[in-house]
Chain A
Amino acid sequence: MAVNYIYPEQEIVRNYDRCIACRACERQCANEAHEYLPEQKKMTSDDAKCVSCHRCVSICPTRALKIVRTDHDFRKNGSWDKKNIYEVYKQAETGGVLLSSMGNPLDFPIYWDKILLNASQVTNPSIDPLREPMETRVFLGAKSQDVTRGADGKIIPKTTPQLELSLPVMFSAMSYGSISYNAHESLARAATELGIYYNTGEGGLHEDFYVYGANTIVQVASGRFGVHREYLDAAAGVEIKMGQGAKPGIGGHLPGKKVGADVSRTRMIPMGTDAISPAPHHDIYSIEDLRQLVFSLKEATAYKKPVIVKIAAVHNVAAIASGIARSGADIVSIDGFRGGTGAAPTRIRDNVGIPVEMALAAVDKRLRDEGIRDRVSVVAAGSIRNAADVVKAVALGADAVYIGTAALLALGCHLCRTCNVGKCNWGIATQQPDLVKRLNPDVGYRRLVNLMTAWKHEIEEMMGGMGINSIESLKGNRLMLRGVGLNEKELSILGIGHAGE
């Protein structure tokens, strides 16, 4: 028998006093971690198959199960921790690139948690959102302040195309293919009810969802999957994906086993083939090429839809964003290194890119220094976890944020980070019909609406505390932020003072 170098990361703990051997866990686990032993009339489990998605834990009628992190460990070593050792074992065994899902999980600083908000007192009243209007509506798009007047002297209230959001949050790009039909339906319906937008990602738009087009942003990525006339026509806005925070420098990757008939038709690729997007757009090798694609898409949509350019937060993000602002894009979206993904090489995910807080602050400052901040809206993405992160992002300078992981969590995701395997027990990151149907879009969309409604209330509470009753007065209002435990350099890049200053 071959030697197995890997001890499972988690252990399935079953309380046999509670277990009634109903076999629900067995039926629910697509990874086949649970098994019924007929002779002994009891359940058993294989820890090695468990991905820690907690599906069994959540459905167990007697609460007999829990998943714990194993205490099995190596001799303590400051340099060689378990993660590094196991990765060597895996690669020695397979000769392959390690794949992972979701955002960078490593212990890098989370600047959101080192920034604190202000509140009004004495000289300036706080505003009670339960009793006074509190406005969270934002418009995304270029804002030309050149006033034109008609012959009668009246201002002609004409703007370039804008996306109107009831609160500064959108659901970020997650492709049909990487996530399920029901997940897409939930996102689309929630965005419509909330008056915000969801993003198709690079996998095309299923024909059933054209009806939600007014709240849909369609993506054009380097693979050009599913891009055609009707696709562009259906949308409210078009996003060019230049980069992704989880994997800057490389293209999207959808494993062939997730490409069934529907996904194949929507993406316009053969069934069962890996959909691997080229690392760059092969018609964009420089900024002037990007400009051409921006205007090609504008031509194709009769200048009626804003064009978003999504980039990964990398070292020269400020210069890139400035170039994009000058390239005719209406919105630039910055995806930080903690941004999620359905599949990315582990090494890239864990080592490439920079925190979105820093990237956002740098981009906002650069655009202002160059006097072109009004030419584009800025959307921040990549691990926006709660309403406070939203408020802090807006105060740093974002017009709005994208959320991906938080939206999936609302749908039931437990962050087991194995989306690439395609066996999502929660019916989200899978295309297996039996699994997909576990996510009921009626429930899923409601949970998304609930989450956003809750965040909106919290945003309003925090704004009211600051004496601000309209979100535009929070945008870029860095005086409302103070850092704690940050060094001078970090504070200067974030453009905020330290607590006590």
Chain B
Amino acid sequence: MSATRTIAIAKRIVSQFLHDRRTIGLLVVVPVVLLTLLGLLFRSDTPPLPLAVADEDRGATNQTGTISLAKMLTESLERNKDLSIVKLDRAALAGQVKDGKVKGGVVFGPDFSRKILAHEQPAIQIVLEGSNPAVSGSVATALARALREAIPALLTGVAGPANPVGSITADPFKLDPDYIYGNESFDQLDYFAPVAIGFFAFFFVFLLSSVSFLRERSQGTLERLMASPVSRAEIALGYMLGFSLFAIAQGVVLLLFAVFVIHIHYTGSLLIVFIVEIVLTVGAVNLGIFLSTFTRNELQVLQFIPMVIVPQGLLSGMFWPVGDMPVLLKEIAYVMPLTYANFALRDVMVKGLGLAEPQVLFDLAILVAFATLMLAFGALTLRRQVA
């Protein structure tokens, strides 16, 4: 064992890194940026949960006079500082839940008060959007907690101040969840699987095309290609076609596995899922070609993973809904192609929406624009890669 030789190897490694300033920068800068993103995601103040109430309760009469227990419950919800309540009718409530303007809704039926007084345990309808089981679950839990916290006031209202406990059951109502998309059997995997397919396609195709193109350049074959009659557009399109084939094969395997082996729930058209995936892949291939211009070796390609892939994984709505993110992160999310792919894939697979829906078309149009832009960038940088 020679200390001199060991130190010589260590010194060589340090010297190599010192020649590659970008790597040193990334070693420090990228983790700090990613930690900042995570900090913003985890530490952001949670705004009051926006909920809607539809009160159809006609009230009921007891010894204290005519009372509306739904109104009392609503007032109690309004006093809860974790919630932000808007009052709507039943149809508007469903519309706002569907559009994501409110996270959930509470509907008190016309006989709510009467049934409570008759000890019939009426159902309170909890309207949930349902596409994200985590969000639905937390909304349902928050609502259940808030309503149960209101029970003492309710009992006071029923029995009158003189006799607060009254002769009422401990659980005067039951909660009846109603999902606009999916149902209570939807779990996190149903929410995650559609976007995982898009993410894997984007990740692997981006990585493979960057490395392939880097090799094309470093092995000199790109120069040979450019010295042949092939045009830059033909090279970019050829790459795109070649890689898309593998991305589609990967997509088919993942989708069939998700549907038939791990039995995810899905409702929409698998064809549209493929269309979204192909467009996303085209963008990823050309992003890979474009960014490989700025790399000299495989190590530098790998550095694009924390720069390009990880932020998209964090911010594109895979784990945290984009709509619930702080404004700054939301703006970053909206410039990421994966965000639109995730919107589209979930809209199709979880909500069962089709190409006739403007929101799906819009997301697809953004992905097409991204792919076209990257194709142009990829083709334009080809000459620079040779020279």
Q: Do A and B bind each other?
A: no
Interface residues in chain B, defined as those with a beta carbon under 8 Å from any beta carbon in chain A: none
Interface residues in chain A, defined as those with a beta carbon under 8 Å from any beta carbon in chain B: none
